């Protein structure tokens, strides 16, 4: 019996594969590689000294999924597969609704047909929208998402909850991530975005390695201590360990549960830039630019539910996140492309 990891070749998926293998689980990865490279799976094998099957398959391909389920016979799925670029989702909403929502529905149908009714789902703090006070708690009203990407997460959460109402045999764990950064401390796997990065940390690392000229800080007039946006950055290894705890609990717990995975601490853009300068040992050129539409001033988690019920707490601080992101970028300036 194994855990099937959809989107397992991606940033968070590959780090979760490492922690699952280290915890003694058998795994199989399913990915269409639209935003990843199979090399990440080879590196996971090198890091852990273990091997696992990798299936090239799209989550919208029901026949393909059926074959994978027949072969792997997973006891649970950790579902990372999805598109995640916020600006692209504004330009191509149908692509996002099709890939993320229709894809998840097809995956759930394949699971149901195969009798595999346990899923851990990658949701996002984005479902708290723009009108809840911080810290965000799981029982706050979700909604008011500011882009189609966020709306896909909101709808998939509802689909999963409806499924549990319809059939008490489903075991669902919804994980709302805050801002994952960092990389495995080996420097062998990390975040490798295609094209110009949308997110802060990959942009910073590309400036530091000389691939981009300077960072644009989107606004310094927010209602925050230094005026720049505040986020709850979480080390991807802590996040990955959260998935191990989540799948262990989901296997034993029927119904739908929701957990925030964050540190509970807010860090501003300028604070992250300073921490990164310390890690890489050089100044980072930046300019203050216009606010980015859809950004909120502050986002951080109340992570006490995950602490209590998953026995999980983020342990790695911002300095470690920056050191590990830098090691990955420095050793792999072009990501997984040689």
Closer CB to ligand UFG, 110 or 120, in the complex: 120
Q: List C-alpha distances in Å: 11 to 32, 82, 124, 335.
A: 14, 12, 15, 11
Any contact of residue 237 with ligand UFG (CB under 6 A)? no
Alpha carbons 128 and 146: distance in angstroms, whole number:
10
When binding is defined by CB under 6 A, the residue of 292, 293, 308, 333 that contacts ligand UFG is 292
**By CB under 6 A, is residue 74 in contact with ligand NAD?**
no
Q: Which residue is nearest to ligand NAD (CB)?
A: 10
By CB under 6 A, is residue 96 in contact with ligand NAD? no
**Annotated active-site positions, please?**
149
Residue 281 CB, nearest approach to ligand NAD (Å): 26
For residues 240-269, which are near ligand UFG according to CB under 6 A? Answer: 269
> Is 81 near ligand NAD (CB under 6 A)?
yes
CA 140/CA 301 separation, integer angstroms: 12
190 binds ligand UFG (CB under 6 A): no
Q: What are phi and psi of 56, to 5 degrees?
A: -85, 110
Euclidean distance between CA atoms 330 and 127, whole angstroms: 34
Classify strands 267-268 and 230-231 as parallel, antiparallel or unpaired: antiparallel
Cβ-based neighbour number of residue 165 at 10 Å: 10
How far is the C-alpha of 310 from the C-alpha of 259, rounded, in Å?
9
Question: Measured between alpha carbons, how far is 69 from 270 in angstroms, rounded to an integer?
Answer: 46
Check binding of 95 to ligand NAD (CB under 6 A). no
The residues that touch ligand NAD, with contacts defined as CB under 6 A, are 7, 9-13, 31-36, 58-60, 80-84, 99, 103, 122, 124, 177, 179-180
The residues that touch ligand UFG, with contacts defined as CB under 6 A, are 84, 124-126, 150, 179, 198-200, 203, 215-218, 229, 231, 269, 292, 295, 299
């Amino acid at each position: 019996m194994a855990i099937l990891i959809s989107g397992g070749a991606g940033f968070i998926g590959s780090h979760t594969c490492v922690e699952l293998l280290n915890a003694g689980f058998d795994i199989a990865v399913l990915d269409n590689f639209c935003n990843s490279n199979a090399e990440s799976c080879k590196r996971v094998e090198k890091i852990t000294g273990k091997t696992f099957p990798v299936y090239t398959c799209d989550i919208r391909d029901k026949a393909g999924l059926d074959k994978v389920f027949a072969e792997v016979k997973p006891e649970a799925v950790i579902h990372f597969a999805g598109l995640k670029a916020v600006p692209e989702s504004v330009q191509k909403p149908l692509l996002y609704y099709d890939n993320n929502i229709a894809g998840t529905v097809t995956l759930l149908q394949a699971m149901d047909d195969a009798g595999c009714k346990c899923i851990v789902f990658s949701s996002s703090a984005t479902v708290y929208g723009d009108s809840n006070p911080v810290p965000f708690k799981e029982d706050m009203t979700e909604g008011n998402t500011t882009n189609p990407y966020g709306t896909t997460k909101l709808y998939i959460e509802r689909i999963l909850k409806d499924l549990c109402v319809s059939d008490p045999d489903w075991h669902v764990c919804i994980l709302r991530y805050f801002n994952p950064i960092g990389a495995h401390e080996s420097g062998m796997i990390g975040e490798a975005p295609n094209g110009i990065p949308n997110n802060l940390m990959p942009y910073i690392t590309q400036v530091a390695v000389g691939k981009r000229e300077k960072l644009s800080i989107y606004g310094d007039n927010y209602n925050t201590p230094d005026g720049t946006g505040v986020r709850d950055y979480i080390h991807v290894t802590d996040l990955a360990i959260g998935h191990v705890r989540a799948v262990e609990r989901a296997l034993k717990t029927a119904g739908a549960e929701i957990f925030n995975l964050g540190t509970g601490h807010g860090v501003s853009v300028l604070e992250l830039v300073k921490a990164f300068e310390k890690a890489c040992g050089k100044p980072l050129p930046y300019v203050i630019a216009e606010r980015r539409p859809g950004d909120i001033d502050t986002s951080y988690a109340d992570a006490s539910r995950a602490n209590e019920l998953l026995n999980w707490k983020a342990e790695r601080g911002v300095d470690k996140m920056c050191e590990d992101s830098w090691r990955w970028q420095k050793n792999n300036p072009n990501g997984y492309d040689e």
